[in-house]
């Protein structure tokens, strides 16, 4: 978790020239939540020497943020459906707020598992330059 501030400074340094202020803030918050969840859940039982890989891609009208980990499988869509079934404000809950923020602040949210037991949290956000 000590790396979170460094991650956000790195992201801002590369994204600021391409994103309007509101989109930059929303992406930073989504990235912070995704990184925090990766550290706290996907990598909780792993050595701190195993890296979490961040990739950022800019396209003409959207940005894609990828957070790669080697933790156990996770069904994001099932978890989001479970959260929607629960009553009450998701912001009132201690856990799972990060998923709510990521879903609300991005236009696409996905979690994929590929060979070599690698997982990727993919967040895409349309860029509205106005």
End-to-end CA separation in angstroms for the chain:
35
Q: Determine contact, residues 112/119, Cβ cutoff 8 Å.
A: yes
Rounded CA separation 86/43 (Å): 26
Q: How many CB atoms lie within 10 A of CB 20?
A: 12
Residue 3 is predicted with a pLDDT of 87
CATH number at residue 47: 3.30.565.10
Query: Cα dihedral sign for 20, 26, 31, 36?
Result: positive
Rounded CA separation 92/113 (Å): 30
Exposure of 12 in the CB half-sphere (CA atoms within 13 A) = 13
Residue 4 is predicted with a pLDDT of 94
Whole-model pTM: value is 0.89
- Domain enclosing residue 30, as ranges: 4-126
DSSP summary character for residue 42: I
Tens of each residue's pLDDT in the chain, 130 residues: 678 999 999 999 999 999 999 999 999 999 999 999 999 998 988 898 899 999 999 999 999 999 999 999 889 999 888 887 876 665 555 666 789 889 999 999 999 999 888 999 999 999 976 5
Number of domains in the chain: 1
């Amino acid at each position: 978790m000590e790396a979170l501030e460094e991650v956000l400074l790195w992201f801002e340094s590369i994204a600021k020239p391409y994103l309007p202020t509101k989109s930059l803030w929303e992406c930073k918050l989504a990235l912070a939540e995704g990184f925090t969840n990766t550290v706290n859940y996907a990598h909780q039982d792993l050595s701190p020497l195993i890296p979490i890989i961040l990739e950022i891609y800019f396209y003409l009208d959207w940005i894609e943020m990828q957070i790669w980990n080697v933790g156990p499988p996770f069904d994001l869509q099932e978890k989001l459906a479970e959260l929607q079934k629960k009553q009450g404000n998701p912001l009132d809950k201690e856990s799972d707020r990060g998923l709510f923020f990521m879903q609300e602040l991005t236009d696409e949210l996905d979690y994929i598992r590929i060979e070599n037991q690698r997982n990727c949290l993919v967040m895409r956000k349309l860029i509205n330059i106005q």
